Structure 1
Amino acid sequence: MAAEESRYLLGGPAPGSNRRVRNEKLYLATFAAVLGPLSFGFVLGYSSPVIPELRKISDPELRLDSNQASWFGSVVTLGAAAGGILGGYLVDKVGRKLSLMLCSVPYVFGYIVIISAQNVWMLYFGRMLTGLASGITSLVVPVYISEVSHPKVRGMLGSCVQLMVVTGILGAYVAGLTLKWRWLAVLCSFPSCIMLFFMSFMPETPRFLLNQNKRSEAIAALRFLRGPHADHEWECTQIEASVQEEGLNLSEFKNPSIYRPLLIGVSLMFFQQVTGINAVMFYAETIFEDANFKDSRMASVVVGSIQVCFTAVAALIIDKTGRKVLLYISGFALGWGPVPWLVISEIFPLKARGISSGACVLTNWVMAFLVTKEFNDLVGFLTSYGTFWLFSAFCCLNVTFTAFYVPETKGQTLEQIEAYFRRS
């Protein structure tokens, strides 16, 4: 029976059944969730086509100088850092599903503030609100997807988070070719509204429900996600065996099974940002203008398209190649974009998932703020060549860190990954 159970966890037949586990509704739940990262991508991409327009606008109350432009691009990361803290609280208190539904509110309200902006401070406030929603999204969606998936497809579905982020960035770049900044904000608000609608029909994750002693609801969620022919009772029992009902206290962070994955997750988020990717994506159009490209907007679209293509490749191959192999590859979209978000959704024990994920998201967005806000100062101090050589040096450190400290999680259940850290 053990071999049959193992095949079931990898997406094969359920124990005692000759039918395959059906994944259609699992994919539907994933689609509903990744509309959040799509919204998040529109937030990140919005500044690139809008900053050049706002720097030339006739209204002096809205016109951005170079310092204001850098704040307009980077202030979203401060909102996202706060969103990481808030998301870490919400994901454990109200659940994964409701947290996602709630974050649509600051998305929409933030864009309403931007659309109605009469001065620069309203632009900043709107960006802060959309950043807050982005921070919650970047924490909750990977957790939701990892907890509803089975190991055979968890890597692919988890990588769809970053795929939808870069798709949103590209969407903002393309729409920015024709839409003025207010109308672009209207367009960017749509994905979060659609997410709110679809998520209202999706189940909460079985692991959260079991942690809340809601076994019948967990069985119903598994029936939705796995289809009627899977052995829901058996999978529920496997999850229950690792669910810790007691709360987490600070003294438990002395336990290697909690602090080791936390240190790995925080380090992955730090290294992801010091590659400089967000500086490039936030200011893509400005960078190409400074490089004397004839059509800086189209050059930005080309960069966004390459990001989408290679992130899609990563999503397709990650369950075959594993996580570490992609982290050794030099391209951001193929490795350091999607993989860190996937790994932090896998390695934390259930009772520490909220606070540990919050610490990782906070680290990511604080570093994103520092990199994006200080990018122009770095260029002034080190020159463009020196700045990008510095980013390259950090990329080399990334590979070294991966080789020695990041575990391979391909093909393992979340419970097996948790057991690995308890043993080591």
Structure 2
Amino acid sequence: MGDKSGDESLETETLTASRLEAKPTSKTRQFVAAIVINIYAFSQGTVIGWLAPTVPLLMSDESPIGGKPLTHENVSWLGSLVCFGAILVIPVASFISNKYSRKMTGYLMALPLIPAWTMVILAQSQSMLYAARFIAGLGCGGGTVSIPQFVHEIAEDSIRGEVGTYIALFFNSGVLFTFIVGSYVSYKVLGYVSLAVTLIYLAAFTLIPESPHYLISIGNTAKARQSLEWLRGENNPDVEREIERMTKRARELDRKRSIRDIIKDLTSKGTIKGLIIGIGICANLQLSGVLAVLSYTVNIFKDAGVNMSPYAATIIIASIQIIATYASSVLVDRLGRRILLISSNSMIVVCLGILGGYFYLKQSLDVSGFSWVPLVALSLFVIVVAFGAGSLCFLIISEIFSENVRIVAQTTCLVCFWTLMFLVIKLFPTLVNMFGLHGCFWFYASCCGSAILFVYFFVPETKNRSLESILKELNGDKDTEEDNSKKNTNSSKLV
């Protein structure tokens, strides 16, 4: 009896030790996988950030594009053609992802960035540069499908919020990287460096396993288990529970493959509410004007008469943005999505209101003594955008749709996202000519003011909640996990 008891004690201690050992391994590998896939987001940032440091050169007599300076209209197309390419590729990326695997999508969607940067380096005409930016848009649009989906499917609920904001963190890092490099190297060297980033991503992505969710969906349970063991740890007892849960969900999806079931799911209360939330969150980010501001930052500082190099000021702003985005990634699973969105939009209204006031007064008064105002206000603006509206958009979209409608719903949201980005970047110079910078800033401020009300009344809190719990709330079922938790707690107290 004593020996048996000792053996059981030893077995229990061994099992406990193996579980403790598995925990850090699982989290570490999930973070590593999220970082690798988000090198793709970094590449997207280099595409968007490329415009700001190169615009002054492209519009000068020393333009590398045939020696002919580009006009404001030409530059607006360089920014907006990226969006147009993204809009066209999103349905294709969604189809490939769900039909042929998440890994294949991660590779194929990034490949257009290689010819895009090659064409930028070799461009000798405006048409070739336009074509390069359009092709780059194909790579950027594919990333907005691939990155959030992959990260959502590999991460545990407890860290889903943090790794879900990495797309904004790495995107902003790519923008900053391009601002810094573009300020010190030649036009062609900047293209070579940006191309190298894409190649690094493609090489690193080979080290990450396929999404276990996709493997379960095609019936490959063995490989799904291997993928989960790599992500969670080989001795993690939660792996089998996750396999069972994913298998059950896959069977439910198989039973809902008819056109009638799909239409029913797409027109359900939860899906419609999710679409309203998803499109609203996309509109919140784009109509904050942040991408228009980032694309024309150097020109804005020149117009403001800031007493420092516009390039230096731009780098400072991009650096601050990264710090704020990182802070958001740390706090999102502690404070929650709603409070970050509401506080972010509130501060955006204040910052844009001050910027609008400065440029309005500049038309009739001498404000040279206050040239620090736009630098401070713009710095605060990018901080508060990154803190909420800019970092949570893709995370929330990945959390609010059931798997049987996710491909259609997320595609709809992402098409709206890039369409709005196209309009904001393309029309920004036109709006400035019509209403002045002050009018543009006040318009964006009013949009963010409306977003505060939208978040308060429509957006649910998804912090540390499972998909099932979130969908219950969207469908009007108040019996959420939190309610069940309270019931269980009260029951235990009564017992």
Question: Structure 1 length normalisation: TM-score?
Answer: 0.93
Report the equivalent of 1:54. Answer: 58
CA separation of 1:419 and 1:211: change in aligned 2, threshold 3 A: farther
Q: For 1:245-324, what aligned pairs fall within 5 Å after superposition?
A: 245=254, 246-247=256-257, 249=259, 251-252=263-264, 253-293=266-306, 294-324=308-338
Distance in 2 of aligned mates of 1:192 and 1:357: 25
Identical-residue share of aligned pairs (%): 27
Report the equivalent of 1:4. Answer: none
Residue 412 of structure 1 pairs with residue 458 of structure 2 = no
Residue 178 of structure 1 pairs with residue 192 of structure 2 = no
Q: For 1:37-76, what aligned pairs fall within 5 Å after superposition?
A: 37-56=41-60, 57-58=62-63, 60=66, 62-76=68-82
Runs of at least 5 residues in structure 2 that lack an aligned partner in the other structure: 1-14, 345-383, 478-495
Q: For 1:129-148, what aligned pairs fall within 5 Å after superposition?
A: 129-148=135-154
Report the equivalent of 2:223. Answer: 217
SS of match in other structure, 1:263: helix
Deviation at 1:419, TM superposition (A): 4.1
Runs of at least 5 residues in structure 1 that lack an aligned partner in the other structure: 1-12
Deviation at 1:20, TM superposition (A): 5.0
Q: Residues 148 and 205 of structure 1 are in contact (CA less than 8 Å); yes or no, is this contact kept in structure 2?
A: yes
Q: Residues 170 and 301 of structure 1 are in contact (CA less than 8 Å); yes or no, is this contact kept in structure 2?
A: yes
Report the equivalent of 2:339. Answer: 325
Pairwise CA RMSD:
1.9
Q: For 1:184-203, what aligned pairs fall within 5 Å after superposition?
A: 184-203=190-209
Residue 358 of structure 1 pairs with residue 370 of structure 2 = no
Distance in 2 of aligned mates of 1:36 and 1:256: 34
Amino acid in structure 2 at the alignment position of 1:144: F
Residue 381 of structure 1 pairs with residue 434 of structure 2 = yes
Distance in 1 of aligned mates of 2:19 and 2:329: 30
CA separation of 1:125 and 1:374: change in aligned 2, threshold 3 A: same
Amino acid in structure 1 at the alignment position of 2:329: A
Distance in 2 of aligned mates of 1:286 and 1:349: 44
Q: How many residues get paired? A: 411
Distance in 2 of aligned mates of 1:35 and 1:378: 34
Q: Residues 42 and 171 of structure 1 are in contact (CA less than 8 Å); yes or no, is this contact kept in structure 2?
A: yes
Distance in 2 of aligned mates of 1:328 and 1:20: 37
Q: Whose RCO is larger (CA < 8 A, sep 6+)?
A: 1
Deviation at 1:227, TM superposition (A): 0.3
Q: Residues 150 and 413 of structure 1 are in contact (CA less than 8 Å); yes or no, is this contact kept in structure 2?
A: no
Q: Residues 90 and 145 of structure 2 are in contact (CA less than 8 Å); yes or no, is this contact kept in structure 1?
A: yes
Amino acid in structure 2 at the alignment position of 1:320: R
Report the equivalent of 1:31. Answer: 35
Q: Residues 22 and 232 of structure 2 are in contact (CA less than 8 Å); yes or no, is this contact kept in structure 1?
A: no
Distance in 1 of aligned mates of 2:225 and 2:68: 54
Distance in 2 of aligned mates of 1:198 and 1:259: 38
- Superposed CA deviations along residues 187-231 of structure 1, whole A, max 9, x for unmatched, are 111222111112112112111221222211111111010001112
Q: Residues 152 and 164 of structure 2 are in contact (CA less than 8 Å); yes or no, is this contact kept in structure 1?
A: yes
- Superposed CA deviations along residues 374-408 of structure 1, whole A, max 9, x for unmatched, are 11111111111111011001111111110111111
Which of 231, 235, 239 is the aligned partner of 2:242? 235
Q: Highest Rg: 1 or 2?
A: 2
CA separation of 1:248 and 1:420: change in aligned 2, threshold 3 A: farther
Which of 378, 384, 401 is the aligned partner of 1:348? 401
Question: Structure 2 length normalisation: TM-score?
Answer: 0.80
Report the equivalent of 1:390. Answer: 443
Residue 159 of structure 1 pairs with residue 172 of structure 2 = no
Distance in 2 of aligned mates of 1:211 and 1:187: 38
Amino acid in structure 2 at the alignment position of 1:283: Y
User: Which has the larger displacement, 414-423 or 232-241?
Assistant: 414-423
Which of 373, 392, 395 is the aligned partner of 1:339? 392
Distance in 1 of aligned mates of 2:466 and 2:210: 18
Deviation at 1:61, TM superposition (A): 6.0
- Superposed CA deviations along residues 271-303 of structure 1, whole A, max 9, x for unmatched, are 210111110011111111222234111111111
Distance in 2 of aligned mates of 1:87 and 1:290: 40
Deviation at 1:364, TM superposition (A): 0.7
CA separation of 1:156 and 1:380: change in aligned 2, threshold 3 A: same
- Superposed CA deviations along residues 13-67 of structure 1, whole A, max 9, x for unmatched, are 99x9555523222122111100010000011100001111111125546531121
SS of match in other structure, 1:242: helix
Amino acid in structure 2 at the alignment position of 1:177: S
